[in-house]
Amino acid sequence: MDSRSRSIAVIDDDSRVLESLQNLLTSCGYKAQTYLSAELFLASDGLSRSNCIITDVGMRRMTGLELLQRVRGSHCETPVIIITGKPSVHSECFYLGKGANGFFRKPIDGQALMEFLDRLLI
């Protein structure tokens, strides 16, 4: 697998979540690029450098759902995984129906996430 196919963008406004996911991804051989907001991710051209996006739903300004819609609206096929720690009326089916490739609730089961990524990025 080339280095781009191992590059994961992680977007969350909680620096503890970013650090935790970065450590997990790095320990499993992925290159994790972290962003404190969807705006920073888009401004850095992270989309063109990422093979997969993991984004929190509940962020200030642009939400994870808005980012997902922006990515899909640009006809980009980069996989997007939604994560959330807050109960919501929206379920996994809702986000998958909007074009997400996966959905995880916080705290994230690291083993389940790694197995999902390994299957997704074959």
Structure confidence by residue, pLDDT tens digits, 40-71:
999 998 999 999 999 999 999 999 999 999 99
Spell out the domain ranges in the chain: 4-90+105-120
- How distant, in Å, are the alpha carbons of 4, 89, 116 from that of 86? 31, 10, 21
- Assess whether pLDDT exceeds 60 at residue 3: no
Class for domain 4-90+105-120, per CATH?
Answer: alpha beta
Where residue 29 falls (left for φ over 0; alpha for ψ -120 to 50; beta otherwise) is left
Report d(CA 119, CA 122) in Å as an integer. 6
- For residues 22 and 29, what is the distance between their CA atoms, to the nearest angstrom? 11
What's the average model confidence in pLDDT over 76-87?
A: 92
Confidence of residue 91 (pLDDT cuts 50, 70, 90): confident
